Amino acid sequence: MIGNLPYVAVVIFIGLGIYTLMFKKNLIKIAIGVVLIENGVNLFLITLGYRKEAIAPIYTQAPSGQAMVLPTPQALTLTSIVIGIATTALILSVAMMIYKHYGTLDTDQVRRLKG
């Protein structure tokens, strides 16, 4: 039923993320842009493992003959989500340190390093 809809959502997520990174000037919004791309990639992975009318891949409890979704992409996505949390936390904490020293989150004013 859903067809290629998840892939369209992936494109929208990643597109919005790249737009945010390129055109927004607030450090927190840049962090949001990174998270958007991450969600897009996670959705892409999970969609790859989708099979029509399949059940959760628990081998011992599956009725025989029933198709199961692929377990590997789910394991990949889980790992990627955990890594994503670490990345997001680190970006936000660095943004906090920047705010403490510069008193602003505007990228035009956080520009002591140049040339």
- Which residue number, 62 or 87, has a Cβ lying nearer to another protein? 87
Distances (CA, A) of 10 to 24, 49, 71, 102: 21, 14, 20, 36
Q: Which of 61, 79, 81, 106 touches another protein (CB under 8 A)?
A: 79
Interhelix angle 27-48/5-23, nearest 10 degrees: 160
Task: Give least dist CB 13 to another protein, A.
Answer: 11
Q: Is 68 helix (H, G, I), strand (E, B) or coil?
A: strand
Q: Give which of 56, 87, 84 is closest to 69, Cα–Cα.
A: 56
The reply to whether 69 sits near another protein by the rule CB under 8 A is: no
Binding site for another protein (CB under 8 A): 14, 21, 27, 30, 34, 37-38, 41, 44-45, 48, 72-73, 76, 79-80, 83, 86-87, 90-91, 94-95, 97-98, 101-102, 110, 112-113, 115
